[in-house]
Amino acid sequence: MLVNCVAYQEGTKLSDIPKEDISEYVKRPDCFVWVGLKDPTPDELEEMREEFGLHELAIEDARHGHQRPKIEEYGNSLFAVLQTVEIKEAELHAGEVDIFVGPNYILSVRLHTERGFADVRARCEREPHLLKYGAAYVFYALMDTVVDRYFPILDALETELEKIEEQIFLRNTARSNIEALYALKRSLMILKHAVDPLMEAVSKLYGGRVPQICAGMGEYFRDVFDHLQRLHATIEGIRDMQTTAIQVNLGMISLNETEVTKKLAAWAAIIGVPTMIAGIYGMNFKNMPELDWVWGYPMSVAVMVVIDIWLYLQFKKIKWL
């Protein structure tokens, strides 16, 4: 689906143009065209390939989707793949944005991503002095927006970890805590797979040999790289905390099992003493010392009770009960 098709000249919007006229505007040296597509059909992608003269391999990647974040150079044009991450029904879902950048054009293709880039277009049009940089600045603005949208999601995951940590020391929550921690781990991996490869790709857009399209925009792409580094460090920090939380939770499970074992052992000892005494007097040998003693029965019961009370107090003292 075609979302937008707009021509710009000297940092100012000229007009929305029909897609059939794209090739005409791209030929103008002081003009560039910005096109946005959402979940396009193969025919729509083929149309864009013909209008912009896009490389067949890049179009093939966009057609199939599910690509690893990357930035590839095709002659005087770039093809970038960014992963978007959105929260849907309390779960993280990864989408994709494919960006084709040329000297006089930029084409963004959203795949499996609901949130658009209308705010990016509005931001760029409010800054004509920066939009004069052309497609390179729009490329930066799109990339910067995708990266900035990772931060609220990472904050939500950090908050979720804090909630789980508060539950670790409560009774009968071990299983639910483990399930929540592993769900958090899966979410972190989705975000990590979006951030780490992109950080490697963006590092090639400033310093050293920079693609001609991005010349003069080094400080902007370095800013994106700095954001990615912050995200990477935070993700690694949360992963370390999550690993520690899993270990503490498993430790609490072992501790609870030990407490149960202690209680069972204590009650077994308390029950074992009267059982032993009753077993001795239940053997019914003819010549037992207290067999004919009038006070034998009450004395035996009294001894059982006294010993059990003493054992109970001892176990209570050492906190086994």
pLDDT tens for 93-104 read: 899 999 999 888
Residue 291 has pLDDT above 70, yes or no: no
CA angle 51, 56, 57 (to 5 degrees): 140
Among residues 225, 234, 221, the alpha carbon closest in space to that of 191 is found at 234
Residue 296 has pLDDT above 80, yes or no: no
Per-residue pLDDT averaged across 26-40, rounded?
88
Per-residue pLDDT averaged across 43-47, rounded?
90
pLDDT tens for 204-245 read: 888 777 888 888 888 899 999 999 999 999 999 998 988 888
Contact 135, 213 (CB under 8 A): yes
What pLDDT score does 287 carry?
A: 67
Say how far apart CA 107 and CA 113 lie, in whole Å. 16
More confident residue, 258 or 105: 105
3-state secondary structure at position 278: helix
Max mean pLDDT range (25-39, 218-232, 291-305):
218-232
Tell me the pLDDT of the chain averaged across its residues. 86
Contacts of 116 (CB under 8 A, 6+ apart): 3, 36, 38, 110
Percentage helix, strand, coil for the chain under 3-state DSSP, each rounded to 5? 60, 20, 20
What pLDDT score does 285 carry?
A: 64
Confidence label for 10 from pLDDT (cuts 50, 70 and 90): confident
Residue 150 has pLDDT above 90, yes or no: yes
Per-residue pLDDT averaged across 121-137, rounded?
88
Contact 86, 93 (CB under 8 A): yes
* Percentage above 90 pLDDT, the chain: 23
pLDDT tens for 260-269 read: 788 888 888 8
What pLDDT score does 19 carry?
A: 85
What pLDDT score does 215 carry?
A: 80
Say how far apart CA 18 and CA 47 lie, in whole Å. 12
Confidence label for 75 from pLDDT (cuts 50, 70 and 90): confident
Question: Going from the N-terminus, what domains does the chain have, and what CATH number goes with each?
Answer: 1-148 (3.30.460.20), 259-317 (1.20.58.340)
Q: What's the predicted TM-score (pTM) here?
A: 0.79
Enumerate the β-bridge partners of residue 80. 71, 99
What pLDDT score does 12 carry?
A: 87
Confidence label for 131 from pLDDT (cuts 50, 70 and 90): confident
What pLDDT score does 189 carry?
A: 92
Confidence label for 192 from pLDDT (cuts 50, 70 and 90): very high
Say how far apart CA 243 and CA 116 lie, in whole Å. 35
Cα four-point dihedral sign 167, 247, 192, 65: negative
Residue 179 has pLDDT above 90, yes or no: no
Structure tokens at 255: 């501790």
DSSP for residue 169: T
What pLDDT score does 98 carry?
A: 93
What pLDDT score does 109 carry?
A: 92
Say how far apart CA 218 and CA 200 lie, in whole Å. 15
Burial class (CB within 10 angstroms; exposed 0-12, middle 13-18, buried 19+) of 59:
buried
Confidence label for 81 from pLDDT (cuts 50, 70 and 90): very high
Residue 195 has pLDDT above 90, yes or no: yes
What pLDDT score does 286 carry?
A: 66
Residue 289 has pLDDT above 80, yes or no: no
